[in-house]
Amino acid sequence: MQIVDAALADAAHRAGEWLACRPGCTQCCHGAFAISSLDAARLRAFMATLADQEPALAQAVRDRAAEWIASNGAEFPGDCSTGTLGVSDEEQERFEEFANDAPCPALDPETGRCCVYTARPMTCRVFGPPVRNEGGGIGHCELCFQGAPTAVVVACEMQVPHDLEAELLHQIGDPRETVVAFALRS
């Protein structure tokens, strides 16, 4: 996480005002996205610590996770009892349209801030600045780099250690994916 956070800080520094991400900007905090078993483990560990340090906040996050599951669980493309996303082509296709407008249960609706920010999943950590995708293209948040020349976008690319995260996942031997709500509920 320290490597990714340092890469984000570096990319944000280079991007300056081109990077629109700020506390309270919550567009990326809506919609379901897959997280790895490693991300889920980090979230569960964080929630255990939060429950000890700020029990009311931890309970509020768990309550929002339970509400999210109650609202979206019937359509969950996987095993709702474990929170494991399905891997069939049909389940993966259903996931593309699943809960696209639902706010993340970690999002505090009053402040627009993430209640699990220090333990947020990799997807959240790399969203915003320019990041190279598997096909070699560069993508970034649609609110960022508006009007920026391609050269500026490329110069602000965040170097993401995808291989390191993949190696850690390989070491723990758990390829399953879930969504944030299921990681927060327990």
Mean pLDDT value of segment 114-127: 92
Q: Is the pLDDT of residue 2 over 90?
A: no
Calculate the alpha carbon distances from 182 to 82, 111, 159, 178 in Å. 8, 22, 29, 7
pLDDT band at 184 (very low <50, low <70, confident <90, very high): very high
- Locate 151 and state its tokens: 């050269």
pLDDT score of 46: 97
pLDDT tens by residue, 126-182: 888 999 888 888 999 899 999 999 999 999 999 887 777 778 878 888 889 999 999
pLDDT tens by residue, 23-44: 888 989 999 999 999 999 999 9
Number of independent structural domains in the chain: 1
**54: nearest Cα among 118, 112, 1:** 118
pLDDT score of 56: 97
Instruction: Provide the residue range defining the domain that includes 77.
Output: 2-185
Give the rounded percent of residues in the chain with a pLDDT score beyond 70. 99
CB-facing half-sphere around the CA of 144: CA atoms within 13 A? 28
pLDDT score of 180: 97
